[in-house]
Structures are given as C-alpha cells and as structure tokens.
Amino acid sequence: MIRQAAILVGGLGTRLGERTRLVPKPLLEVGGRPFLDYLLDELTRYPTIHDIVLLAGHRAEVVLEAYHGKRWRGASVTVVCEPSPSGTGGALKHAAAVLQDRFFLLNGDSWFDFNLLDLAVRAETSSAIVHMALKRDQAGDRYGRVRLEGNTVKSFLTAGAEPSGPINTGVYCVDRKIFGSIDEMPCSLEQQVFPRLVAEGHLVANLYDGFFIDIGIPADFGRVQSELPNRLNRPAVFFDRDGVLNVDKGYVHRVEDFEWVIGAREAIKLCNDLGYYAFVVTNQSGVARGYYGVDDVHRLHDWMNGELAVVGAHIDDYQYCPYHEEGTVEAFRRASDRRKPAPGMILDCMKAWPVRKEGSLLVGDNSRDVEAAHAAGLPGHLYREGDLAMFLRPLISSLATR
C-alpha cells in the first residue's frame, strides 16, 4: 500500500515569462488558488496517503514558507529544497533520504483526472521500477507520444512526430530502486533516466481516460482557469453502510463482524474509475445506545480504507450520525437533523465537497435512506441483494465524467 507522494515543484517555467519570475509555476493562481493546492486536494482524497513531499528548486523559499510542516486533510507536507538546479532526477535523488520504498511522483505543473489507486494496484504485481499513467490520447502536436508493446514502454516520440496516441501525464508510481539510475548531476528523468529504464525493460505504463492539462504555456494557463474548477464539480454516489456495503448483522462495529456485500468494493472502485465522489452516510445509533463508541466507528472505517485500497478503491468521506433521541448515553441522546431520514449528512457532504447534483444519487437499503436522498434533492435507489457493482453500473455508467 503506497502511503507517500512526491511532487516536483522546482521548474523555472520560462515559457510563462514574467509570471514565474517571483513565484514557482505550481504556485501560480488558478481560479483564485495556487495550482498546487488542487494537486494536494486531489492526493488527499486518498486516505492511504499520509505523507506528501514537495521537491522545490526555483524560488524554493516561497514553497517552504507556504507549505512546509502543514497538514493537508490527513497528510503531512514536507518541503525538500535542492541546493542548486539539479533537474528532475537530481531533485528526486536529493530527497532520497525521506522517500519510502515505493511512492507516487507527480509533476507539479500538470493535472490528470484518473483513479491513482488503480495505478498503485497494478504496480504491486510488477517488478518494473516506474509505472507511468498515460492519457490514452490527447489532441495537439506539442505533446510527445509514448510507444508501447503491451504495457511495456518501448520508446518516446518527440513532439509533433505523430498526431495521436498516448502521452506521458507526469504521474508515476516509483520504486526507490530508481536512485541507482541517477548517477550524475544535473539529471533529467525524462531525458536520461527513463530511456535507460526503457532499455532495461523497467518502465511500464497503463492507459487511462480523463481530463488532462498542463499549465506550461500561456494558452493552457488561460484555459485552466475555468476548466479545472469546473471539472472538480463532480457527481457523487452516497452509500448507506450497513445492509449496502456490509452485511447488516445488527450494530456492526468490530472488524471481525464486518462482511463485505458481494460487489461492494468493486462498486466503490467503479465510482472512482468513472470520476464520481464516493461517500458513506450511515446512522450509527449504537453509539447513543452505549453498544460502542465513536472511536470504534473510526477504527472500522480506517480498516475499510485499507481493504478498499487493496482493490484500488477509496471512499472520499465518511459521515455518520451517533445520535438518537432514545439513547442511553446522555451526550448522544437527542434528535439530530443528520440522522436519516433527515438529509443532514448528505447536505454536509455537499457543503464540504464540490458536488454536482446532476447525476448524483444515493444507494440505501430502506425507506429512510430514500427519504433522506429526496429531502436533499437527489434520487434514492433501494438495494436489496445481489452484486452491488452490477446494481450500480447501469445507474452511473451513462453519466460517467471520464
């Protein structure tokens, strides 16, 4: 399970002219926020990523002041500054002491909307040193193309060499064995390290569909201002938990009592792959009744995160309601507008995340769930039995955002 990501934020950004003289390119504002903030938001959607390392070069002091030592959702952020311009490979090797055995690596000036954990799962079963995420096809003659044989990268074509084909998106899953291929400074991953790995058969790639853009030239920097914020307004699937994701055995709160519904993890991954937010909204009156505590709820959800990551899936947010007006624990004995059939948990998700109502839906196993969905202005669908992924697929596939 990959728990770390590194982002290259040290490029000069010369094609953007005066904009990057005082500010590193990834910190330029897009839609009123630094572009880097969007990358951090996206990485921390994955609850298994606990550590993010920013590899800074040009105007490193700006990055250091803005991000070093911060927390971003559940992840810590560390900034490593290269002492002199060393190229992308040199910046990576300079941070070797803080990088784990396997980590994600991203270019700080590009955005690719795909399921990052799918790449991680594929890397788990391979001995390659680098796994690249490729955009299946991207219009434009300024992109170099990647030539594959199966999933193995055979060569890189220069920009303009072919009018179509897959491109490198600057998103990688990297084994720290890569440091053995970085033996001179300065060093470019793209120009020196990757060709060497291709020759050795240690560079593989997977194709994905999804929105891609980089901010390296003025035209795309202008285009990203509206396109990226709009893309983040995603539809969502809200899952009830007991009876939908797991077999309802009555007040499930221990790992040993948790049993996944057939196709539940695959249904969540389907949401991830198609570009939906995936949320859990669950009544947990067992807390109010004294059967278990909120720590038990969190512990079980943390365990679910690990189980989901194994298949390349994740939940963006867990919302639960521990209150009940007939509870025996005084702190939780009250009515709550978060308890279904009230829509509070759904509405709280929609406030905290840029959810697009169009295409969003809830899957529950009783009328309270459906009432809560309707009260929030969403369709609700009753799941009774069978493969949950098969149940969900026809409801969302035609509305896929990727």
Specify whether 240 is catalytic. yes
| Amino acid, single-letter form, for residue 172 | Y
Residue matched to tokens 């709820």: 297
Dump strand ranges (E) for 44-197: 51-56, 71-72, 75-81, 102-107, 110-112, 130-135, 145-149, 152-157, 167-175
Q: Count other C-beta atoms under 10 Å from residue 308's C-beta.
A: 24
**Alpha-helix residue ranges (DSSP H) falling in 134-205:** 194-200
144, 156 contact by CB (below 8 A): yes
Q: What are phi and psi of 258, to 5 degrees?
A: -85, 130
Quickly list H helices, 205-293.
Answer: 218-231, 264-274
Task: Output the six-digit token pair for 344.
Answer: 């509070």
Q: From CA 135, how far away is CA 402, in angstroms rounded?
A: 11
The kind and range of the H/E element at 121 are helix 116-124
Outline where 218-366 has alpha helix (H).
218-231, 264-274, 294-310, 344-352
Task: Say whether 295 is catalytic.
Answer: no
* Active-site option among 240, 273, 316, 365: 240
DSSP line for 215-239: -SSHHHHHHHHHHHHHHT-B-EEEE
**R_g over Cα of the chain:** 23
Spatial distance between the Cα atoms of 88 and 86, rounded to a whole number of angstroms: 7
Omega prior to 83 cis, within 30 of 0: no
Catalytic member of 242, 316, 317, 369: 242
How far lies 156's CA from each of 167, 168, 284, 291, in Å? 9, 9, 53, 59
DSSP state of 355: B
Task: State how far the alpha carbon of 297 is from the alpha carbons of 65, 174, 265, 286, in Å.
Answer: 36, 34, 19, 10
Catalytic residue list: 240, 242
